[in-house]
Amino acid sequence: MFDDQEDTLDDTVVLRTKKNAPVRRSLSECDHMPHRSIADLRAELRQRGETEWRKKVKSDVAEEFRSIKKNVINDDLSEDSILATRLNELDASSKQWQNRVEKSDAEKFSISGKMAEKMKDATPTINIPDDNKKTPQAKRIRLRGTVTKWTSRRVSVPKLDDAAFKSFFETVKHSESVEKVNLRLEDFDAVERQSLLVIRKNVQVQKRRGASKNPIKALAKRTDIADEYTEVITGVAEREKKRLAIERLSKDSNKAAEALAGLASTEDFTSVALKKSTSAPSFLAPWKNLMLLQVKGRRHVQVRLVEPVATSVNEGDNFILITPNALYNYIGAYTNVIEQSRAADVVNHIRITGDMGCKVNRVITVNGSDGLTKNSMEFWKLLGCKDVPPCINAGHPEEDENYETNILRTNMIYKMDEEELVPLENYWGVIPKVEILQERSILVFDFGSEMYVWSGKGAPLDKKKMAVKLAEKIWDDGYNYSECSVCPLNIASILGERQQEILPLSAAKRPDWALFARISQHRESVLFREKFLDWPDYTRVISIKPDVRKTVNPNYNLAVDNIEVMFEEGEKEPDLVVENTHLGRGDKYYDKETLRHMEYKTLEIQTWRILENTYEELSKGSIGQLYDGDSYIYSWRYKQNIRGRELSGNPSKWNPVGRDRHIFFCWHGSNSSISEKCTAAFLTVELDKQNAPQVRVVQGSEPAAFLRLFSGNLVIYRGKRSDRIKKDKVRLFIVRGEVENETYLMEVPVSTSSLRSRTSFVIVDNVSNRIIIWNGAKSTEYKRKITRDIVCRLLDNKPEDMYLDDSDDLKVLEVDEGYESNEFFEILGGDSTLYHSLVDSLEDYNYTVRMFKLSSVTGSFLANEILCPHRSDHCTPYPFVQSELYSANQPALFLIDNHHELWLWQGWWPEKDPELDEDEEDVSDQTGSGAIRWQAERRAAMQVAQKYWAKRYDPSKFVAHAVWAGLEPVQFKNLFPCWEDREDVMEMNMKDGRKLGEMIPLEDELALLTRTTYPLAELLQRPLPEGVDPTQIENYLSLEDFQELLSISKDEFQKLPAWKKTALKKDKGLF
């Protein structure tokens, strides 16, 4: 409190008054001070009061002040708070030991650890500093033009229990009859008493059963049944216009109203879309011929379609290259385990199911660290590189997570609503889930490089078509990802260790390699399914281990199911059926069902020889001169005449003439190249102007209709036509065919080993200018006659390719087997020991050899007879060729009936392809159950041979032999018209200990395969004896050897669990 006083200092007068008195200033001070508001003064005063005083206070004073303040606060804490504080301090101090322990080296073995030194100064390529979610702008998509408005009305559905129903059926009133009894007190006096024996009786209470429900009332109570529907009325204006036109025409016409309506209607046939007869794939198929998929990510691995070029590949990711006939899995040097596993699942699914238009049997794995290999060169060649380019190094370790986060934000999903596509806000810019795929919904998925129009199986057809049009509009407008951080169409070109580059986020057109597809429910491709978070994968489901006792017994007890069919003779007359037309042998055919007799007359025959990439037409003189190293195209134009029969059964006098017909035959020689066979197929289509049918003919299996085109003038030479040798050459031809107009000559090697005792041969000796006819000892008279006829036609026609002398000095000699001169064997080279001669045989050979193929590929062990395509009523001594055995899927079994003996031909086990890698699968590498089944098939085939012989021939004298492919004896080779040794097959079978020319009696071989016990020493050796099941070796031990080796009995062994049995067998060498 200050008293009133007055102080004078220069011009300033300060008056201190009472407590609340204002302070006066001099006029000079007021003029020099700036004008500030009260708020500014308060703020300045507050700032000085809070901070300026700290500058004047010493540091130790400040610490003391803080401690005082802390103590003041602590005074208010309870004892529990102090205890909690102490516990927190102890917990913090207990974790300080972690700072003193060295860091784990597990990170060194991860991908980031491997790239630590390499990526020390690198920065992520996808570096997004802003954490805000960036997604494309969501817009509704609709077609231009007005929305179609339909006229509709509500139509109510009558109920079965409504008022109309009750009013129609009148209610019937039920009358009740009541019985009344009048009693008086006197009536009770007449009641008599009688004492009865009391017997306890159990009374069964009848349970009341519920009454059956009224189905009509129950149906009426249901709320899920609609009682009305909306009827859409279309074309009102058109119908009204037609009605007026009909009324106008009916005034001056005497026609019916229906006829006038038909005349007044106008139909637009151009708007009618007929269903295509061809089953060509749609242009909206969910794959392309060349696709490169990138597998990248860490949490939710993304499988995306990228541009199929070499610059899209880097060492940090997995890539899958898909073509129609090849499947590559490229594994980068720094790819993580999750990416490798996901890529392996995708390629295995494609290989097994044939998805993505890829039909392959194996997956080709290319490792980025392997360097230059055959598979890698093919991989880079498909991506447009002639040589293996230097691959882009892997990017920053954080690149996978950054890529995964930002690529998911580019996902766009639309739903079809009426006539527009509406964006799904809940799934816009996020990974989709399976729950959005409803049965009646239509969705459009835009993943940038991929766009799918998905439709449920219950979606309307018109909405499906509308959704495709709207999706095409989005596709044609290009793409715009300016709102996003990355663009899914070109992001692959900046991933990895590259220079920073700014790529466009929008374009007016999508690239050609991008995919626009249409898929339906339950038919999604693997590339589409990989986009979902929770797509069910049942291959990864861990199921309960099956009970060992319920497993299938690996023993194959096969038995032929159609052995009775083997005793039935096949059809004698061959019939060539082309487009439901029976040609028979090419000259006539009688249809027993329609009682029609058809005759065929040749009008014209043209021939073309296939060159490398083109063809040349042959002259008429060379039509029947073929070479087994070439392929030919034959055009047969013929006329079909049909004759019927009268009621009496005699042929009809009427002979209606049919139309001209046309057939193309593609004949392939046994030594023609694959390229020529393919060229023949393409050129046949080019030559065909009338859409005529095409028939493929293989040398040795010519049908009778094809042979009849040449009228017995067909000759098949060895080699190629362009390599033929002109003069001074000896040729040996075997005569094939039994019908006069179907016989032909086939050239065989000039050697005594080519002779066969059951047919005739023609030797053309251009050196001595003569033709020699050699007749085998068992050649029939008919065979000898047709051989002479062939030689006569050769002399008359003198084909250019035969190089016969034009003079009349050509000699013709005929020699029978057993009466050959030394000069004859000098011409052929060798002697009669090189072939199986039947000169001394007393057996009858007037029969046709039969052959059966034995196989269990269909699940049942069946015997299918193979018939000669030009068989006839005459016996055919050599109806089959060697290629029918060796062209079958191996290992194969064939049973040949040679009337006097049976032959069981056993194929070979194919070796693994040497070009395949060790970790790649090969269909020929079959072990385990495959080998067991092969032994079971052999055993079943031998048992079939025994039953066949016992019923067809003398059961007391069983003559049968087993031979192996490549090791056939001469007796077996001479069952075929020509034989060529296969050294590759011979080497494979000789590796298994088999011998050349070995003829094993079938009874001895069957005894080995059906043997039940073996000595212990033989079972411990490898390979195991034939017929031993490698999964159950212990079953072939005798009781004594079993007890000695395993120290337990067989009964005790069977009671052990499966795992203990396996362990015991491994320990003793029986596994």
Residue 1056's pLDDT band, with cuts at 50, 70 and 90, is: confident
Q: Are residues 480 and 345 in the same domain?
A: yes
Task: Give the highest mean pLDDT range of 4-13, 381-390, 720-729, 970-979.
Answer: 970-979
Q: Give the domain-ending residue among 688, 712, 736.
A: 712
The larger pLDDT score, comparing residue 1069 to residue 406, is at 406
Per-residue pLDDT, 230: 73
pLDDT tens per residue, range 407-460: 999 999 999 988 899 999 999 999 999 999 999 999 999 999 999 999 999 999
Q: Are residues 905 and 1033 in the same domain?
A: no
Residue 986 lies in a domain: yes
CA separation, residue 632 to residues 626, 666, 683, 724 (Å): 8, 6, 10, 17
What is the share, in percent, of the chain residues with pLDDT greater than 90? 25
Per-residue pLDDT, 178: 63
Residue 177 lies in a domain: no
- Structure token digits, residue 626: 């073929």
Residue 281 lies in a domain: no
Indicate the range of 163-172, 505-514, 884-893 predicted with least confidence.
163-172
Task: Give the highest mean pLDDT range of 244-248, 642-646, 700-704, 930-934.
Answer: 700-704
Residue 596's pLDDT band, with cuts at 50, 70 and 90, is: confident
Per-residue pLDDT, 552: 40
Average pLDDT over residues 195-216: 62
Residue 917's pLDDT band, with cuts at 50, 70 and 90, is: very low
Does residue 429 contact residue 488 with C-beta atoms inside 8 Å?
A: no
pLDDT tens per residue, range 31-57: 445 566 787 887 787 777 766 666 665
Q: Are residues 523 and 659 in the same domain?
A: no
Q: Exposed, middle or buried by CB within 10 Å (0-12, 13-18, 19+), for 507?
A: middle
Indicate the range of 183-187, 666-670, 918-922, 1054-1058 predicted with least confidence.
918-922
Listed residue (611, 634, 755, 619) closest to 692, CA to CA? 634
Read off the CATH number of the domain in which 1035 is found: 1.10.950.10
813 pLDDT more than 80: yes
Per-residue pLDDT, 1007: 85
pLDDT tens per residue, range 464-522: 999 999 999 999 999 999 989 899 999 988 888 887 778 889 999 999 999 999 999 99
**b/e string for 591-627 if b means 16 or more Cβ within 10 A?**
eeeeeebbbbeeeebebbbbeeeebeebeeeebbbbb
733 pLDDT more than 70: yes
571 pLDDT more than 60: yes
The larger pLDDT score, comparing residue 718 to residue 369, is at 718
Residue 391's pLDDT band, with cuts at 50, 70 and 90, is: confident
Residue 23's pLDDT band, with cuts at 50, 70 and 90, is: very low
Q: Are residues 915 and 993 in the same domain?
A: yes
Residue 171 lies in a domain: no
Average pLDDT over residues 185-212: 62
Q: Are residues 520 and 628 in the same domain?
A: no
The larger pLDDT score, comparing residue 299 to residue 183, is at 299
What is the share, in percent, of the chain residues with pLDDT greater than 70? 73
Torsions phi, psi for 615 (to 5 deg): -150, 160
Per-residue pLDDT, 122: 56
**b/e string for 907-943 if b means 16 or more Cβ within 10 A?**
bbbbeeeeeebeeeeeeeeeeeeebbbbbbbbbbbbb
Three-state SS across 998-1048?
Answer: CCEEHHHHHHHHCCCCCCHHHHCCCCCCCCCCCCCHHHHCCHHHHHHHHCC
The larger pLDDT score, comparing residue 536 to residue 165, is at 536
28 pLDDT more than 50: no
* β-pair partners for 326: 323
Listed residue (394, 453, 408) closest to 304, CA to CA? 408
How many helices and strands, by DSSP H and E, does the chain display?
Answer: 28, 38
Per-residue pLDDT, 1009: 84
pLDDT tens per residue, range 62-117: 555 555 444 444 444 455 567 777 788 787 777 677 666 666 555 555 666 566 55
The larger pLDDT score, comparing residue 152 to residue 76, is at 152
Q: Report the C-alpha gap between 53 and 32 in whole angstroms.
A: 28
Range of 1023's domain?
Answer: 1012-1071
Residue 1059 lies in a domain: yes
Query: Taking the CA of residue 397 as centre, how many other CA atoms within 13 Å lie in the half-sphere pointing to its CB?
Result: 14
Q: Give the domain-ending residue among 487, 519, 535.
A: 535
294 pLDDT more than 90: yes
Per-residue pLDDT, 83: 77
Residue 592's pLDDT band, with cuts at 50, 70 and 90, is: confident
Average pLDDT over residues 287-314: 93
Residue 235 lies in a domain: no
Indicate the range of 144-158, 775-789, 965-979 predicted with least confidence.
144-158
Per-residue pLDDT, 148: 52
Per-residue pLDDT, 34: 54
pLDDT tens per residue, range 929-988: 677 788 888 888 998 999 889 888 888 888 899 999 999 999 999 999 999 999 889 988
Query: Taking the CA of residue 230 as centre, how many other CA atoms within 13 Å lie in the half-sphere pointing to its CB?
Result: 5
Per-residue pLDDT, 858: 76
Q: Are residues 516 and 367 in the same domain?
A: yes
Q: Are residues 747 and 811 in the same domain?
A: yes
Q: Are residues 943 and 1028 in the same domain?
A: no
The larger pLDDT score, comparing residue 72 to residue 665, is at 665
Per-residue pLDDT, 784: 92
326 pLDDT more than 80: yes
Read off the CATH number of the domain in which 788 is found: 3.40.20.10
Residue 328 lies in a domain: yes
DSSP three-state, residue 882? coil
Per-residue pLDDT, 833: 81
Torsions phi, psi for 637 (to 5 deg): -105, 125
Does residue 513 contact residue 489 with C-beta atoms inside 8 Å?
A: no
Does residue 1037 contact residue 1064 with C-beta atoms inside 8 Å?
A: no
Per-residue pLDDT, 270: 55
Residue 286 lies in a domain: no
**Domain count across the chain:** 6
Q: Give the domain-ending residue among 961, 979, 1010.
A: 1010
What mean pLDDT, rounded, does the chain reach?
A: 79
The overall pTM is greater than 0.85: no
Per-residue pLDDT, 765: 86
Q: Are residues 1027 and 997 in the same domain?
A: no
pLDDT tens per residue, range 850-884: 999 998 887 778 888 888 888 888 888 999 999 99
Q: Exposed, middle or buried by CB within 10 Å (0-12, 13-18, 19+), for 1024?
A: middle
Per-residue pLDDT, 146: 44
Q: Are residues 993 and 1041 in the same domain?
A: no
Q: Are residues 1039 and 938 in the same domain?
A: no
Per-residue pLDDT, 539: 66
Average pLDDT over residues 1018-1044: 80
Q: Are residues 591 and 463 in the same domain?
A: no
